[in-house]
Amino acid sequence: MTLRVAAGQATTVVDDVAGNVAVAAALTRRAATAVAQVLVLPEAFLVGYAPGAGREAVGEHDVRLVPLLRAAPEVLVLVGTVRARPDGVRTLALLAVHDGRAEHVYDKVHVDADEAPHYAAGGGAVVLDHPALATSGHRLGLAVCADANEPAHVAACAEAGATAYVVSSAWFAGREEARDATFAARARESGLPVVAAVATGESYDGRGFTGGSCVVAPDARVLGSAGRTDPGLAVADIAGSDPSREVTPRGK
């Protein structure tokens, strides 16, 4: 069966958790209107991506998530956040939100030089086998930004049975060509469709983010892109039979 996926983007504000959750909820409702079953949102979306500058963290039990939990319970939302572990260590993480609850599902493995002083690296590749995906036959390889720069990461996901590669990311303005080349390369190498959410709008340091959230086929065709729209959504249907399957584009 096919799985309809969406990659979303919108401007967020550093440490404005309530505002960012409201934006995430609005994008979730848009995804539901498009009959998407999965929505991917950018890196650290709930807190605003700002290594060393942001103070907030939002974990799976945070009451501030309630508007997102209630937005469209039928949509599986994979949203970037900063997570504070009980020992105080922070990670760049993904939460899975579905059916009125949130669950921590992944920590970024490949933290970059700007992030390393502030965030710990995760333990390795993760493939999400979620009940919301059961009827589609899909299992999602999870990545946060620089994870997708590493061919070994998507390879590990594919070897573990992923049928699609989900990337929650933040690319700075001026890196558009590198962004597109990265997503295309990971799709070709792995034979998996890539569903990539990319931060947009102003950044904490004034450089700005690229936007360009997209769905890319295994042969590197771009099936949908949100471009520079803010807020924006790219939507596509991906089939669940095997990693080399055909993928059918859908409109925004």
Is the backbone peptide bond immediately before 231 cis, with ω within 30 degrees of 0? Answer: yes
Tokens of 164: 């699609």
The CATH number given to 2-249 is 3.60.110.10
CA dist., res. 25 & res. 136, Å (int): 24
Q: Are 228 and 211 in contact (CB under 8 A)?
A: yes
How many Å from the N-terminal Cα to the C-terminal Cα in the chain? 21
Beta carbons of 104 and 86 less than 8 angstroms apart? no
151: number of Cβ within 10 Å:
12
Going from N- to C-terminal start, the domains of the chain cover 2-249
Contact between 78 and 35 (Cβ < 8 Å): no
pLDDT of residue 160: 98
Is the separation of the CB atoms in 41 and 77 below 8 Å?
A: yes
Torsions phi, psi of 127, nearest 5?
A: -115, 120
pLDDT in tens, the chain (252 residues): 899 999 999 999 999 999 999 999 999 999 999 999 999 999 999 999 999 899 999 999 999 999 999 999 999 999 999 999 999 999 999 999 999 999 999 999 999 999 999 999 999 999 999 999 999 999 999 999 999 999 999 999 999 999 999 999 999 999 999 999 999 999 999 999 999 999 999 999 999 999 999 999 999 999 999 999 999 999 999 975 443 433 333 333
Describe the chain by its helix, strand, coil percentages, rounded to 5.
25, 30, 45
- At position 217, the amino acid (one-letter code) is A
Question: Model pTM?
Answer: 0.94
State the Cα–Cα distance between residues 40 and 145, nearest whole angstrom: 12
In the chain, count of helices (H) and strands (E)? Answer: 4, 15
